[in-house]
Amino acid sequence: MSKEKHVSETPATQLLKKHKIAFTGHAYDYVDHGGAGEAARQLGLDPHQVGKTLIMEDENSKPLIVVMHGDCEVSTKNLARQIGVKRVAPCSVETAQKHSGYLVGGTSPFATRKKMPVWVEAALLDYPVIYVNGGRRGYLIGVAPDALTQLLAAQPVEAGLAKA
């Protein structure tokens, strides 16, 4: 059923290859504002196993990355408390793109333009494989969660809220 699409390399896939980290590529038809849920639906994946990559900032406008379940929202209050800052909020689209080097909707936690601390929802680390954006709209990569913790020094947090 799945149609094979070729996706050229991205900075994210180049970084993973450079560090000899195995990954699988999964192309899908990008839908504006479809998010991780739409990607999961098209690819037949559990949206809880798909991590959306969010660029946020603290009260001092210092950017950070949050990788959250595709079917959950981030509790910014919980996140701020756990990472020891006063406030966390999403960046504007322009600011997120400037920090990450990726278009919103295609943001990968790997190979961002600016090095940022990475926080990952702890329960994502329990899966043998998680799916995150591969650096292009319409392209997920499947990686072992330790790719995030080892390569990006991602720290676990519990900041997810089920979507209403």
Query: Does the pLDDT value for residue 22 go beyond 70?
Result: yes
Decide if 39 contacts 70 (C-beta within 8 A): yes
pTM of the model: 0.92
- Fold of the domain spanning 11-129+146-162: YbaK protein (3.90.960)
Percentage of the chain lying above the pLDDT 70 cut:
94
pLDDT tier at 5, thresholds 50, 70, 90:
low
The span from the CA of 34 to the CA of 54, in Å, is: 14
Per-residue model confidence (pLDDT) at position 3 = 42
15-36: average pLDDT: 94
Task: Give the confidence band of 44 by pLDDT, cuts at 50, 70, 90.
Answer: very high
Q: Where are the domains of the chain?
A: 11-129+146-162
pLDDT at 8 over 80: no
Tell me the average pLDDT of the chain. 92
How high is the pLDDT of residue 1? Answer: 37
For 123, which DSSP code? G
Tens of pLDDT, residue by residue over 91-101, are: 999 999 999 99
Edge-to-edge strand order for the sheet containing 130-136?
A: 24-27, 139-143, 130-136
